Structure 1
Amino acid sequence: MTQPYRPLALFAALLGGFGLALQLWFSIRMTEANGGTVLAGVWLFLGFYTILSNLLVVGVLSAAATGSRGPLGIFLTRPSVQTAAAMSIVIVSAIYNVMLRQLWSPSGWLLVADVIVHDAMPLLYLVYWWLAVPKGALRWSQALVWQSYPAGYFLYVLLRGAANGWYPYPFLDVRALGYLQVLLDAIGVLAAFIVVALLLVALGRWQARRRAPAVADIA
């Protein structure tokens, strides 16, 4: 990432971290109100794809903002990883706004946290991705490799649900829908992931081609 975009990465990382901290606080508070423990609240917090994807995005932005050159920082700032994070956060926003927003009505600081993780961070991260991430090396095949993350999450949800009967999203609720319908729902969502991934690769490669003549002219 070029130096001019580090303030953007830092701002977005701080905002995302604040939103996640609020979400964690509410998760613990609501769990305790229902007779659970702090650990149970943290475990609930880590059950949502929204949270895991925002954690990934904040990690990417933090590594970019600090110029981290450790193994984790190098991994998180790979263009392919940063684009996979863009794919995930776009799907987070799309599914929430199309399928889930109408299911509840948060208010106060809970609404603030909700807007940060579902609306503000996807938009900010896409702006960062467009401006700061080099995309010339993106390959079409990577769009399929990136699906290991949502596929892994799907397995994680099924294992958690089998253990305690809790599912984070209505379309993944095996108790209400059965395994066949949940599998069909997951395939539909995976198709959306693939479409978004391919679109990001296409946009990235197009941007890289447009920038190449400009760089050559300057040189």
Structure 2
Amino acid sequence: MRRPVAVLFRIAVVITTVLGVHLTTRDSSFTASLAYFTIQSNVLVAAVFAWSASATWRGVGHPPTWLKGGTTLSIAITGLVYNLVLADLPVAPHASPIWHLSNQVVHVVTPIAATVDWLLFDEHRRFRFSHAFAWLAYPFGYLGFALVRATTVDGPHRYPYPFLDVDVLGWDGLALNVLLYGGAFWLLGLALVLIDRALPRNAPPAPVPAEPTRAAVSRSAGSDIC
């Protein structure tokens, strides 16, 4: 019973995430929207969960542990940073109710859904403490991307987030933010590892055996006669 529930849940996450990304970015080009960690992490969730749903249904080829864990951490970062740091910032006055709804999807619904999936349907006791450090490669890679992008873009959205704005913070302020946020993300990764090790193993259900084909049945019958 858990297997079909996991498949349906993951398909629902993919559909919801894709819809949230589409509605959030429909007033601007998708390429420009990819400058935001929020959009990148939601696209990552959609891709990994589509893979995971297919693999769960077929019982083979699940996403690697480091990828599924890193995806969970990345989308958790999206949700926590938005709700703890960015939620009270002013938004564009012309933003539609649909945009506000989709904004909640990509910042709240998807992070919660991805966390629930990890808790209920993933196999546990597979994370290593080294993963908490390795998972930082994506946030720090995004930092490098944002700084390089800023050298090619002008205007108020040169830096995608205020805590990366070198023009306002200066390089010293940016370095302090990198230390603080990087440390917080590492601790969050460690928390995922510790929780994973404390949870029941939750081994994935065995795949449903394929029905024997008519040819296979005929060969088996023939071998019995011989």
Shared fold, TM over 0.5 = yes
CA positional deviation for 1:135: 2.2
- Residue 141 of structure 1 is matched in structure 2 by 130
Which consecutive segments of 4 or more residues in structure 1 shift more than 6 A?
A: none
Aligned length: 195
Matches within 5 A, 1:68-217: 74=61, 77-105=63-91, 106-165=95-154, 166-208=158-200
- Residue 35 of structure 1 is matched in structure 2 by none
- Residue 32 of structure 1 is matched in structure 2 by none
Q: Tell me, which stretches of 5 or more residues in structure 1 are unaligned?
A: 29-40
* Same amino acid, percent of matched pairs: 28
1:127-170 Cα deviation digits (max 9, x unpaired): 11111111222100111011100010000000001222410001
Task: Name whichever structure is richer in helix by fraction.
Answer: 1
8 Å contact from structure 1 (residues 79, 134) kept in 2: no
Say which one has the larger Rg: 2
CA positional deviation for 1:101: 1.0
Matches within 5 A, 1:4-15: 4-15=5-16
- Residue 224 of structure 2 is matched in structure 1 by none
Tell me the TM-score normalized by structure 2: 0.80
Is the partner of 1:104 in helix, strand or coil?
coil
8 Å contact from structure 1 (residues 96, 118) kept in 2: yes
Q: Tell me, which stretches of 5 or more residues in structure 2 are unaligned?
A: 206-226
Distance of 1:177 and 1:43 partners within structure 2 = 27
Tell me the TM-score normalized by structure 1: 0.82
Provide the aligned C-alpha RMSD in A: 2.3
Out of 60-69 and 10-19, give the one that drifted further: 60-69
8 Å contact from structure 2 (residues 21, 102) kept in 1: yes
Is the partner of 1:141 in helix, strand or coil?
helix
Distance of 1:179 and 1:163 partners within structure 2 = 18
- Residue 18 of structure 1 is matched in structure 2 by 19
Matched to 2:70, the amino acid is A
Distance of 1:185 and 1:89 partners within structure 2 = 19
Distance of 2:20 and 2:118 partners within structure 1 = 20
8 Å contact from structure 2 (residues 7, 56) kept in 1: no
- Residue 38 of structure 1 is matched in structure 2 by none
Out of 141-150 and 171-180, give the one that drifted further: 171-180
- Residue 214 of structure 2 is matched in structure 1 by none
8 Å contact from structure 2 (residues 124, 197) kept in 1: yes
